[in-house]
Amino acid sequence: MDSREFRNAMGRFATGVTVITTNDGTDAHGMTANAFMSISLEPKLITISIDNHANMLKKIKASGQYAVNFLSDQQQDISMNFAGQKKKEDGVDFGFIQGVPVIKESLASVVCDVEQEIVVGDHTLFIGSVKDVKVTDGNPLTFYCGKYGDYRQKEYA
Ligand code: FAD
Ligand code: NAD
């Protein structure tokens, strides 16, 4: 199986879109990611998976903290900015929670301390101990088959 075939299959798992944010010394650094999982309630733990070649990797290692921001369907431009797909001309407005930069108007921002770091293949999992959350109402941005979309709720009996 080649990489394209694998990605085509993985792309059929519909996800939301997050931007991971951390401190880069005095500045903020962000990266678009959909490899996110909530993993434990007691204690409250989440995980993200970062490519070993991504700039984000050394920035999280240095700061020991990160936030995961769940994007709304109004924030595709922010996703594209932090995936290096298209620069957002008017810049990005960061807020701060416990000193960690977050993306304003995200559906939720989850702020963590790095609890554990596990190198797995060509990615590194950062298990985060959740310190704070902030939530806002809205609809999610989605990613399916390599394309952005939105979510329309349909009720099943
Ligand atoms: P860079 O390439 O240095 O930064 C990414 C972009 O963010 C650059 O364009 C940079 O200018 C901009 N940026 C950073 N900080 C700021 C700032 N303060 N202000 C304004 N702009 C800023 N990769 C993974 O490893 N794991 C995943 O789970 C993952 N999921 C993805 C999901 C989707 C839907 C997409 C589209 C991409 C995903 N990627 C994932 C790929 C990843 O987003 C890109 O490879 C990204 O460019 C890698 O970021 P980097 O940390 O190397 O930083
Ligand atoms: P795509 O077809 O590459 O992505 C479809 C799915 O494949 C993703 O949702 C993810 O589950 C998987 N995938 C893609 N690249 C991967 C990687 N390097 N490691 C592990 N899983 C991966 O969609 P696209 O529009 O071509 O993606 C845009 C860019 O974002 C590509 O460069 C892609 O590699 C990158 N991306 C990386 C990850 C990741 O590192 N986990 C996830 C999604 C997208």
pLDDT in tens, 138-152: 999 999 999 999 988
The answer to whether ipTM exceeds 0.85 is yes
CATH match of 3-150 with 2.40.37.10: no
pLDDT computed for residue 46 by the predictor: 98
Q: What percent of the chain has pLDDT over 70?
A: 100
- Best of 19, 23, 32 to mutate for ligand 1, by most ligand atoms within 8 A of CB? 32
CA dist 22 and 27 (Å) reads 9
pLDDT average, residue stretch 103-111 = 98
pLDDT computed for residue 117 by the predictor: 98
- Write the residue with the smallest CA distance to atom 32 of ligand 2: 83
Q: Where are the domains of the chain?
A: 3-150
Name residue 23's beta-bridge partners.
28
> What are 55-75's pLDDT values in tens digits?
999 999 999 999 999 999 999
Q: Report the candidate in 89, 91, 90, 99 with the shortest Cα–Cα distance to residue 63.
A: 99
pLDDT computed for residue 153 by the predictor: 75
Instruction: Decide: 56 in ligand 1 pocket, CB within 6 A.
Output: yes
- Best of 2, 7, 51, 80 to mutate for ligand 2, by most ligand atoms within 8 A of CB? 7
